[in-house]
Amino acid sequence: MSLPEVEPPLPSTAIRIVILISGSGSNLQALIDAQTKGQINTDIVAVISNRPDVKGLQRATDAGIENHCLNHKHYADRRSFDQALHLKIQQYQPDLVVLAGFMRILTPELTRQYVGKMINIHPSLLPKYQGLNTHQRAIDDSQVQHGCSIHFVTEELDGGPVIAQSLVPVLKDDDAQSLAQRVQQQEHFLYPQCVQWFGERRISLKTGKIYLDEEILPKSGRQF
């Protein structure tokens, strides 16, 4: 499918970001910290969780960021949840929607509204290991290289164009937990880096290709 052209917002003020979470929110925290330190030109205007009482909501409150829980269990089906989510996001008129450990499959009706404006972090070197249990699957396959990816969200789960990846070696004694820990350290570097490219208006998606400055990125995105 060819994707429509999406131009980045005009370079004047900080870009408005809504962050979607489902849990601990360590990536959210990395973005809050980067914003606080002035490393990213962003205004995190809201955090939305689909699960109540998660640590990420507390992190948002502590940072003085508006936050909401839309409990998916209170909606009849995926579609009605996504409609409510879309309405909530739109209240904030974001330039970018950042999925940071948001563990819900989104409907095509929703993802189509955010082509080029919604990004996700996934704990594998996409297109390898879409879906869950990525660390264990990499170990089971005796991979020597693992990592994380930031990609644009499309209707294909974990399947949109990749903006950047961070490579993490798999060590001989790694189990899923130790590997996950090292991948997460890289996530906390990689997500702010990618978001800053948006903040600097250096990144865009045109007809399914990602441009960083004037350069078309390869399928694996920019690798670190």
Nearest residue by C-beta to ligand GRF?
Answer: 101
Non-local (6+) Cβ contacts of 189 within 8 A are: 30, 166, 224
Residue type, 102: F
Nearer to ligand GRF by C-beta: 26 or 39? 26
**Beta carbon of residue 45, minimum distance to ligand GRF (angstroms, whole number):** 19
**Beta carbon of residue 25, minimum distance to ligand GRF (angstroms, whole number):** 5
Nearer to ligand GRF by C-beta: 176 or 211? 176
**Beta carbon of residue 180, minimum distance to ligand GRF (angstroms, whole number):** 7
Nearer to ligand GRF by C-beta: 27 or 165? 27
**Beta carbon of residue 23, minimum distance to ligand GRF (angstroms, whole number):** 4
Concatenated DSSP letters for the chain? -PPPPBPPPPSSSPEEEEEEESS--HHHHHHHHHHHTTSS-EEEEEEEESSTT-HHHHHHHHTT--EEE--GGGSSSHHHHHHHHHHHHHTT--SEEEESS---PPPHHHHGGGTTTEEEEESSSTTTT-SS-HHHHHHHTT-SEEEEEEEE--SSTT-SPEEEEEEEEPPTT--HHHHHHHHHHHHHHHHHHHHHHHHTT-EEEETTEEEETTEEPPTT-EE-
Give me the catalytic one of 72, 122, 135, 188. Answer: 122
Nearer to ligand GRF by C-beta: 151 or 222? 151
**86 tagged catalytic:** no
Question: Which residues are near ligand GRF by CB under 6 A?
Answer: 21, 23-27, 56, 100-101, 121-123, 148, 184, 187
Nearer to ligand GRF by C-beta: 8 or 163? 163
**Beta carbon of residue 168, minimum distance to ligand GRF (angstroms, whole number):** 12
Catalytic residues: 122
